[in-house]
Structure 1
Amino acid sequence: MHRFKFSGEPRAGVVLASLMLETLNALPANEMPQTLIGLPRHSWRAREFGFDQTLWLTRYLSRHLGIAEVNAHRVRHTPTQRGLDRQARQRNLRNAFRIDSPLSGRVVVVDDIMTTGASLDALARACLVAGAGEVQAWAIARTPSSSI
């Protein structure tokens, strides 16, 4: 995970995404979403990490699952979430995302690591505003709540 997130190594992402696909391919067809939306990073933050891991992961899943991908936009720069508690993370991301394409049906928001869920929640709210009927969150990993 560290190689994928902090060292910008897509090969590490292939291993992680392949494991994720094993689980997702077991979902019944009627439980699959119509759309995937990756948690957008600010462009300079993607450069800092070497590439945009979540965009890469979303595209990988989209290709392998045959599910449409829609881009979300970060409408304002937000400070890093590292070191913030749950409430501070939620405040930090309030109204931070926009989706220009109309959505419908089941939508999945994608992230590499879910810590408190504040980022995914803020993006999910933007999806509902854009018309999604249901929003799920998919992540490769989850930070243990005792570490937050």
Structure 2
Amino acid sequence: MKPLTEADIRSSFVNATPDELEQLPIPGLHEMLWDEREFLGWRDPQAARRGYIVSWIDDRPVGIVVRSAGGSLRPGIAAMCSFCHSPQPATQVRLFSAARAGESGRNGNTIGSYICEDLGCSMLIRTAPPHLNPPATIAMRGEALLQRVRNFTEDVSKTA
């Protein structure tokens, strides 16, 4: 992923309200390992159900605000993140919804997807032991992850 600045992030959101933008917490950008990310995803420490996803689409950053569902999947079963396609305990996957951009979103139109609760898909695709996860496999999984994030983001960005 190409590095992002705070200005890049703040100007990227397509479905944020003015209040959300004013209160937007910026993660520690100086700590980011940009080469090990397909997108930037983080949760809001002040609003437990709110999260943010920013990815590069057509050489510009596009951000979306997502909200997690109040409940979680039943413990003891497996679930799969729709972004990274990593199977994991159901308690680590959450339904997130995003208001669509523009008037449609202001009228309550949303879309949702099951995503890793911490929005850390980029790290998860890299956690298998190296002999099971060679660089070529990581690159392939990373490209597939990025495409699914782009598809979701582009769907949220549609105003009609």
Higher helix share: 1
Q: Which has the larger radius of gyration?
A: 2
User: Of Structure 1 and Structure 2, which has the larger fraction of its residues in strand?
Assistant: 2
So what's the TM-score if we normalise by structure 2?
A: 0.29
